[in-house]
Structure 1
Amino acid sequence: MRGATRGAKRSAPAWLLGPALVAGVAYLDPGNVAVNMSAGAQFGYLLVWVLIVANVAAWLVQYLSAKLGLATNQSMAELLGDRFRTRTSRLLFGLQAQFVAIATDIAEVIGGAVALWILFDVPLVAGAVITAAVSTILLLMQAKRGAKTFEFTIIGLMIVIVMGFCYGLVLQPPAAGDVLGGMIPRFDGPQSVLLAASIMGATVMPHAIYAHSSLARDRFGADGGERIPLPRLLPATRVDVTIALTIAGSVNLVMLLVAATVLPGVEGTESLEGAHAAIGAALGPVAAAMFAIALLASGLASTAVGAYAGSDIMGGLFRTKLSLIGRRLLTIIPAIVVLAIGVDPSFALVMSQVVLSFGIPFALVPLVWLTSRRELMGPATNRWWTAAAGWLVAAGIIGLNVALLVLQFGGA
């Protein structure tokens, strides 16, 4: 059985953890870093409550995605590919999903490239190639060594991310009263609404939905060995998702708190290199270096998970026999081209998040629909209140992303 789960003991539930921690890296990608730092620098603690709400919504979405993979032994891309009545409709749906994967890679490769430029003066294009190569190696590792090795590697990078981004908070912690004040829901003008929509829109990423169902399938899918009973897997999965989203949510909150504490009103923090420079000026070179190292780990880990999702989308919706390297090149080349033709990295990062917002309905709505079908899910079918919560989250996130687009292009 994949993931070395055979013979797992009842007293060792840790053996059942891991997929959610890998999927949770999607919540710590360079796009999240840029949005959180900008929100804290511009509005202080005002949007703390948005991060908390976003994390609660993300918990439900990621649990439903994992449950889908566990109950069906298929990824969401495979399940959707089986349900399209015509080849044309399946390919059209696959094109938008692959376009989302490309946008994901653009954001994450840019983050890695910017980090290499900050740390080692590596040119952006060369940094993009290095980031892409490392993520491809990690994907090959998953294919050759199995889910467990991939999980341990990504979790190791997550530890670096946590340490790097939390270092600044240790140096200059915020006042508890200010943080509590940020938990009161409110806005301060159109720009704060735009940033709130950006935070929510960047939280539930389409590729994280595809990836988690696939990760659960790869870790626990039956391949001739004994399958762990679903009633045992589901409680462990809830714990796994809780741990992963607690870590990811806390780190996102830390980014905002660091910016709110030491960078209020500082110009240029809407870009990653600007945020790095501002942290260095406020907290010293060590804090700036830790930020850059965490950004590099963020780019490497998130692009590896994004590549994993893109590979699964290609196989499930396009049903292609293209090699893993060939599939990887389809998503990574556009990211390198964007930097090679001189597009501003910060602009490309923002626009990639806008593109991702278009893909959310195409991933989130099918997820809630599939997990509510008894003939597919059996005893793991959503209860009515779970389905209602899922549709509420879907409607809320889609609405906020519409607001993001309106504010972004409507001149507000």
Structure 2
Amino acid sequence: MAKRQFSLGPATLVAAAFIGPGTVTTCTLAGANFGYALVWALVFSVVACILLQEMSARLGVITRQGLGEVLSQQFQQPLVRILVFGLVTLAIFIGNAAYEGGNIAGAALGLNAILPEVSLPWPWIIVAVAFVVLVQGSYRRLERALMALVLLMSLAFLTTFFITRPDWLAMFSGMVPHVPQVPEGAWLTVMALVGTTVVPYNLFLHASAVSKKWSGEHDLPQARKDTLISIGLGGLISLAIISTAAAAFFGQQISIQSAADMSVQLEPLLGSWASISMGVGLFAAGITSSITAPLAAAYAVCGMLGWSTDGSHIKFRLVWMIILGCGLALSVSGYKPITIIWFAQIANGILLPMMAMFLLYVMNQSQLLGRFKNTLWHNLLGLLVIAVAVLLGGKSLYFALS
């Protein structure tokens, strides 16, 4: 039998989802405010993302179903079913609405950098574009073009990373410290780094996408390799953003409020084009995620409730319309775009433990996965991720409310 040639698959969508306005903003603020001190939190986030997304991919490959459909089958007792579905649906709506607000705000932030002299209601225009694309079902073609722009921005960060010659010793010390340190005022940043990397709705999106691409257990090595490579590259880009921000801003008491402020870190490579490049990248990342986030929510909710996941079905459309509307309301609420993007990542990080616990539950069902269910190591590492996420979420809420 001929050896299969490896090609990247659905995990590229997961990586593209977290290399968006949230990651650029959060990693820039982490590097600018705390230098390399929080690189360990990024490393934890990337490892946690690979672990959970491998489970999600394995679920999709073996069962040929999405996580929403599997949850629907696993919880049949009426009261438990209502409780589980209520919690998951609420988490999906809250998390995705916040994330959508950040996506729209990020895309608007990019347009303001590209066209600083033009004053238009950018959030409304972005939502109108997303609405038309989702109704017509033409998001796949648009997504490829926009992902190419995001890739160019990511390449600019990676190139600048090497040009600026980061402090390698400080970076590796921050990456693998003897004891992870959280500087004063950094707990919310740590939570945001987790939330921007391990995005709860991606657990649903990945399983559904994998179930459509691959056909059985013989494809599992492909799915695992796809997950490791795609998310690993996404983590490398995030590391490059923290490092370039640390080199450009740390210790200078600079307030970062716009894409133009963030673009300073790209000036060693792009000079006067840095602001436009950052604007194009943020716009592309924001509008791409503005389309995929409502879509993922629709797949998750409709799959759980047993509704049709046909893109033309009225219930499917109603779900993504609600998410799109909530995102618009948040983006025009009067809060600064950077603040909205920041809040979305923290909300995702707080909701993550709940989604991870449900995933861990279904991954231990022998009748569902047979010999492909979680091993003891999968479970121990999964529980460790959940425990750390709960600790970070609790600390973040304490410091946010105190």
TM-score range, shorter chain: 0.7 to 0.9
What is the CA–CA distance in structure 2 between the aligned matches of 1:61 and 1:249, rounded to whole Å? 15
Does residue 304 in structure 1 map to residue 296 in structure 2?
no
Partner of residue 224, structure 1: none
Does residue 294 in structure 1 map to residue 281 in structure 2?
yes
Structure 1 residue matching 2:314: 3-state secondary structure: coil
What is the CA–CA distance in structure 2 between the aligned matches of 1:181 and 1:124, rounded to whole Å? 45
Q: Displacement of 1:111 after TM fit? A: 0.7
Query: What is the identity, as a one-letter code, of the residue corresponding to 1:208?
Result: N
Q: Displacement of 1:39 after TM fit? A: 1.1
Q: Residues 269, 36 of structure 1: CA spacing in aligned structure 2 closer, same or farther, 3 A cutoff? A: farther
* Residue 100 of structure 1, aligned match among 95, 120, 127: 95
Partner of residue 3, structure 1: none
Q: Is the CA contact (8 Å cut-off) linking 1:361 and 1:398 kept in structure 2?
A: yes
What is the CA–CA distance in structure 1 between the aligned matches of 2:293 and 2:337, rounded to whole Å? 19
Partner of residue 381, structure 2: 389
Partner of residue 229, structure 2: 243
Q: Residues 118, 379 of structure 1: CA spacing in aligned structure 2 closer, same or farther, 3 A cutoff? A: same
Partner of residue 399, structure 1: 391
* Residue 196 of structure 2, aligned match among 177, 202, 205: 202
Structure 2 residue matching 1:14: 3-state secondary structure: coil
After TM superposition, the score normalised by the length of structure 1 is 0.84
Q: Displacement of 1:187 after TM fit? A: 2.2
Q: Displacement of 1:40 after TM fit? A: 0.6
List per-residue Cα deviations over 1:128-176 (Å, max 9, x = no partner): 23433444566567x5798xx6885575354234224334325423133
Query: What is the identity, as a one-letter code, of the residue corresponding to 1:127?
Result: W
What is the CA–CA distance in structure 2 between the aligned matches of 1:183 and 1:77, rounded to whole Å? 35
Q: Residues 346, 152 of structure 1: CA spacing in aligned structure 2 closer, same or farther, 3 A cutoff? A: closer
Q: Residues 47, 323 of structure 1: CA spacing in aligned structure 2 closer, same or farther, 3 A cutoff? A: same
Structure 1 residue matching 2:37: 3-state secondary structure: coil
Q: Residues 246, 307 of structure 1: CA spacing in aligned structure 2 closer, same or farther, 3 A cutoff? A: same
Q: Is the CA contact (8 Å cut-off) linking 2:104 and 2:331 kept in structure 1?
A: no
Q: Residues 255, 156 of structure 1: CA spacing in aligned structure 2 closer, same or farther, 3 A cutoff? A: same
What is the CA–CA distance in structure 1 between the aligned matches of 2:72 and 2:226, rounded to whole Å? 28
Structure 1 residue matching 2:165: 3-state secondary structure: coil
List per-residue Cα deviations over 1:29-77 (Å, max 9, x = no partner): 2222221111111121222222122211111011111111111111111
Q: Displacement of 1:248 after TM fit? A: 0.6
Query: What is the identity, as a one-letter code, of the residue corresponding to 1:177?
Result: L
Structure 2 residue matching 1:13: 3-state secondary structure: coil
Equivalenced residues, count: 390
Query: What is the identity, as a one-letter code, of the residue corresponding to 1:162?
Result: S
CA-based RMSD of the aligned residues comes to: 2.8
Query: What is the identity, as a one-letter code, of the residue corresponding to 1:248?
Result: G
Structure 2 residue matching 1:182: 3-state secondary structure: helix
Q: Displacement of 1:120 after TM fit? A: 1.7
Q: Taking every aligned residue pair, what percent have the same amino acid on both sides? A: 23
What is the CA–CA distance in structure 1 between the aligned matches of 2:376 and 2:84, rounded to whole Å? 29
Structure 1 residue matching 2:224: 3-state secondary structure: helix
Q: Residues 175, 293 of structure 1: CA spacing in aligned structure 2 closer, same or farther, 3 A cutoff? A: same
* Residue 240 of structure 2, aligned match among 231, 254, 257: 254
List per-residue Cα deviations over 1:58-100 (Å, max 9, x = no partner): 1101111111111111111122233253374365232332222
After TM superposition, the score normalised by the length of structure 2 is 0.86
Partner of residue 208, structure 2: 214
Which runs of 5 or more residues in structure 2 are unaligned? 308-312
Query: What is the identity, as a one-letter code, of the residue corresponding to 1:120?
Result: L
Partner of residue 173, structure 1: 165
What is the CA–CA distance in structure 2 between the aligned matches of 1:90 and 1:110, rounded to whole Å? 31
Q: Displacement of 1:391 after TM fit? A: 1.6
Structure 2 residue matching 1:398: 3-state secondary structure: helix
Q: Is the CA contact (8 Å cut-off) linking 1:205 and 1:360 kept in structure 2?
A: yes
Q: Is the CA contact (8 Å cut-off) linking 2:108 and 2:126 kept in structure 1?
A: yes
Q: Is the CA contact (8 Å cut-off) linking 2:294 and 2:321 kept in structure 1?
A: no
Partner of residue 251, structure 2: 265
Partner of residue 26, structure 2: 35
Which runs of 5 or more residues in structure 1 are unaligned? 1-8, 221-227
Structure 2 residue matching 1:190: 3-state secondary structure: coil
Q: Is the CA contact (8 Å cut-off) linking 1:45 and 1:260 kept in structure 2?
A: yes
What is the CA–CA distance in structure 1 between the aligned matches of 2:14 and 2:250, rounded to whole Å? 32
What is the CA–CA distance in structure 2 between the aligned matches of 1:152 and 1:274, rounded to whole Å? 26
What is the CA–CA distance in structure 2 between the aligned matches of 1:181 and 1:96, rounded to whole Å? 36
Q: Displacement of 1:380 after TM fit? A: 1.4
Q: Is the CA contact (8 Å cut-off) linking 1:165 and 1:290 kept in structure 2?
A: no
